[in-house]
Amino acid sequence: QEWVTGKKFCTYSVCHHGKLSALSIYPVNYAIDGNSCLTFESIDHQGILDWITHFVKSMNYTGQIAFDFIEIDDGRLFAIECNPRATSGLLLFGLKDGLCTAFLDTNKQLVRPKKGSRRQIAAGMLLYGWRKGAKPGNKITDFLKHFLSTKDVIYRTRDIKPFLSEPLVFAKIWLNSKRMKLSIPNYFTFDHDWNGEPIETKKEIKAAL
């Protein structure tokens, strides 16, 4: 299999009988070792929109679907991963964007988050965002600027309790990851991520819960 390098993008879509009803596109910016995104910014990308529109139409697909892409220097797109489920692309939609209409198939046009809207997983940024591996050419000054100017995915002024509860949630995650001898990133995905290891290992880990 050919190894390709280029710009990385993630997407999230809602579809009904081959029609694309909702779509968010965001580049991989700050991420855990370049993989699991910590920040999200809504962008337009016509090539990705056309690719997904064609795919879901050809499959007559209904449901949620999320593709990851690499765009090489000549503009060609390579789809490198597909998740038929909800992903972090959901976090870019606001209440006014009308994502609910896409799920109900009552929208008259494609539902998109506002271009340029940004969110971050603040706890993850504090743990990993400042590290060199989080972003090519990462600098602490750039990290601080981005961190201080981007809204957390949980924080809401009218409902602050979930945000204040995050340390307790993280403590539970940390304890479970230590008990299962997994890193925190691997713990987050162990129950739905498979990279070729024996299936029995997954069953044993799940049973340990």
Reading the chain (209 residues) residue by residue, the pLDDT tens digits are: 678 889 999 999 999 999 999 999 999 999 987 778 999 999 999 999 999 999 999 999 999 999 999 999 999 999 999 999 999 999 999 889 999 999 999 999 999 999 999 999 998 899 899 998 899 899 999 999 999 999 999 888 888 898 888 888 888 888 988 888 888 777 777 776 666 667 665 555 555 55
CA distance to 12, 20, 25, 153, 174, per residue, from 103 (Å): 13, 11, 18, 21, 34
So what's the pLDDT on residue 18?
Answer: 96
**Cα distance between residue 120 and residue 147, in whole Å:** 8
Asked if residue 119 lies in contact with residue 37, where contact means CB atoms within 8 angstroms, the answer is: no
Distance (Å, rounded) from C-alpha 49 to C-alpha 196? 31
- The pLDDT of residue 192 is 67
Residue 1: the pLDDT is: 64
pTM, 2 dp: 0.82
